[in-house]
Chains A and B, each alone.
Chain A
Amino acid sequence: MANAATFFRFGGVVGTTLIALASCTRHFEPITPAGFVELNNQKEYAYRATNPDGVVIAVREIKHDPKGALAFWERAVENELREGRGYALLGKEAARTRSGLVGTTLRFGHDEGRNTHLYSITVFVTGDHVFLIEVGGPKNVVEGKAGAIRAAIASFEPEEGIIHSLFGWL
């Protein structure tokens, strides 16, 4: 009986720890581009970094529920930004993670006050999560950092390991 109680107690602690780990950690590798610093204590974003000139790169990690295809999420984002906010859709192109997962990058333009800004969202969809990589900043600065940003997005890799697979439903 004592052994059983110990087993269950131990199992409970391990389970709780795993749940905490699964729910608190981000499910991707950081992608900080050269010249950027990562910002800590982010609430809305799973990751956010900035450069001194005001270009920001961030990742949202959204539980994939309900399940939808890449085209669904891509369209939902496009509609929200174009119709709802008046963002100009400048282009749309395919993107790939390091391991070859296919996603889509939507490139937008928008005036913030009198300044022209560029804003892009790259959408990747895995079994458990929808990842949104957002990049934005003043147009001329973003254009100057285009190479580093592109490289960072190409190095993005979602982690759908065993622990995440086990507790992904959480």
Chain B
Amino acid sequence: MVRSTDWFASFRWRALLLLITFGTCEACGLGVGYRPSASTPSGGHQFDDDPRPMSMPMPLPMPRSQLAAPALAAGPVARPTLAPSDNPSPEPKTPEPPSNTESKRKPLLIYEATLDLAVFEAKKGLDAVEKLALEVGGYLVNRTDSSILVRVPAARFEETLKKSSAFGDELHRNVKVRDVTLEFTDLSVRLDNLLQMRKRVTELLAQTKNVDEALRVEQELTRITSEIESLKGKLALLGELIQYSTLEVRFQPRPVERLNRTVQLPFPWLRNLGLTNLLRLE
């Protein structure tokens, strides 16, 4: 007859081996993702006595030295709960689209425009564009002797474009609109998932039983955190581009390759017109 304590110890080892196996699979991308069970107490974590060991992503037995005192007292089957303050990095707020309710109804659009104005009184024109951008609540991004790049609130983009074109002789206008609804939604969903995953991995970290396991979990945590930061950056940039439209005004002749002329008149004297030849008196 097997004593109940021996049976219990044997079961634990087998469960641990299983966990290691599936944990490795998870690490190489083949494992089954861990999903919190409804029966799991809030903030808690299922231990190796859980009848569903395959749901564990990695073998994360918590080192006894790291267990909270109440958990130690409760024995190996205790389900320690992590206080919110145990979380090593508090969850920063997920970047939101310009307006959540709006984004559900309207597409998220990025507006970009380029205005080519004739090269005449460029400084005056550049000053006027910069002043206009500030007036409508925008800001200056870049300015050279012949061009200016400003960002203006999307709601006032058309108005700014119209007024800017009046600052000179408009030679060409290029307006691009990009629908980023799908991209934004995709990034948001991926970020939410990663945040949840980080929460779970953080909980598992608190339950590791030795340094090797802790290091492995830490590595995973670092990877997830890095991915989260990258996604947040992308979302923040998208949000910025949605909220503020980009307008570039250039006071320079368009490069010949961009003129897109279909006909080049066969009169060479036309190419000799202009101030350069007229004013060259020597």
Please give the residue numbers on chain A whose beta carbons come within 8 Å of chain B beta carbons, in ascending order: 39, 44, 48, 50, 54, 56, 58, 60, 62, 76-77, 80-90, 108-112, 114, 116-117, 119, 121, 132, 134, 136-137
Q: Is the CB of A89 within 8 A of B267?
A: no
Q: How far is the CA of A50 from the CA of B276 in the complex (A)?
A: 14
Q: Is the CB of A80 within 8 A of B120?
A: no
8 A-B pairs closest in CB distance = A86-B253, A88-B118, A88-B120, A109-B120, A88-B169, A86-B119, A80-B270, A136-B278
Q: Any chain A CB within 8 A of the CB of B74?
A: no
- Chain A residues positioned under 8 Å from B279 (CB to CB): 54, 56, 112, 136-137
Cβ contacts B258-281/A at 8 Å (1 or 0 each): 010100010101111111111101
Please give the residue numbers on chain B whose beta carbons come within 8 Å of chain A beta carbons, in ascending order: 116-123, 168-169, 171, 251-254, 256, 259, 261, 265, 267, 269-279, 281
One of A48, A62, A89 near B118 (C-beta < 8 A):
A89
One of A77, A87, A114, A136 near B120 (C-beta < 8 A):
A87
- Chain B residues positioned under 8 Å from A110 (CB to CB): 118-120, 274-275
Q: How far is the CA of A76 from the CA of B267 in the complex (A)?
A: 10
Q: Select from chain B the residue with minimum beta-carbon distance to A50.
A: B281
Q: Is the CB of B281 within 8 A of A87?
A: no
Q: Is the CB of B261 within 8 A of A134?
A: no
Q: Is the CB of A82 within 8 A of B120?
A: no
Q: How far is the CA of A111 from the CA of B273 in the complex (A)?
A: 15
Q: How far is the CA of A53 from the CA of B265 in the complex (A)?
A: 35
- Chain B residues positioned under 8 Å from A54 (CB to CB): 279
Instruction: Report the number of A-B residue pairs with Cβ-Cβ less than 8 Å.
Output: 94
Q: Is the CB of A88 within 8 A of B168?
A: yes
Q: Select from chain B the residue with minimum beta-carbon distance to A60.
A: B269
Q: How far is the CA of A50 from the CA of B116 in the complex (A)?
A: 33
Contacts A39-B281, A86-B254, A134-B278; is A121 near B273 (CB within 8 Å)?
Answer: yes
Q: Is the CB of A116 within 8 A of B273?
A: no
- Chain B residues positioned under 8 Å from A108 (CB to CB): 120
- Chain A residues positioned under 8 Å from B278 (CB to CB): 56, 58, 119, 134, 136
Q: How far is the CB of A21 from chain B (nearest CB, A)?
A: 23
Contacts A119-B278, A121-B273; is A83 near B119 (CB within 8 Å)?
Answer: no
Q: Is the CB of A109 within 8 A of B273?
A: no
One of A50, A77, A89 near B270 (C-beta < 8 A):
A77
- Chain A residues positioned under 8 Å from B277 (CB to CB): 44
Q: Is the CB of A76 within 8 A of B120?
A: no
Q: How far is the CA of A111 from the CA of B145 in the complex (A)?
A: 11
Contacts A110-B118, A110-B119; is A77 near B169 (CB within 8 Å)?
Answer: no
Q: How far is the CA of A82 from the CA of B253 in the complex (A)?
A: 8
- Chain A residues positioned under 8 Å from B121 (CB to CB): 88, 109, 111, 116
Q: Is the CB of B273 within 8 A of A81?
A: yes
Q: Is the CB of A82 within 8 A of B275?
A: no
Q: Is the CB of A83 within 8 A of B281?
A: no
One of A85, A89, A114 near B253 (C-beta < 8 A):
A85
Q: Is the CB of A112 within 8 A of B270?
A: no
One of A83, A89, A134 near B273 (C-beta < 8 A):
A134
Q: Is the CB of A111 within 8 A of B269?
A: no
Q: Is the CB of B120 within 8 A of A111?
A: yes
One of B118, B261, B265 near A76 (C-beta < 8 A):
B265
User: 27 A-B residue contacts at CB 8 Å?
Assistant: A50-B281, A54-B279, A56-B279, A60-B269, A80-B270, A81-B274, A83-B254, A83-B259, A83-B261, A84-B253, A85-B119, A85-B253, A86-B116, A86-B254, A90-B120, A108-B120, A109-B118, A109-B120, A109-B169, A110-B120, A110-B274, A112-B279, A116-B120, A117-B275, A119-B275, A132-B273, A136-B278
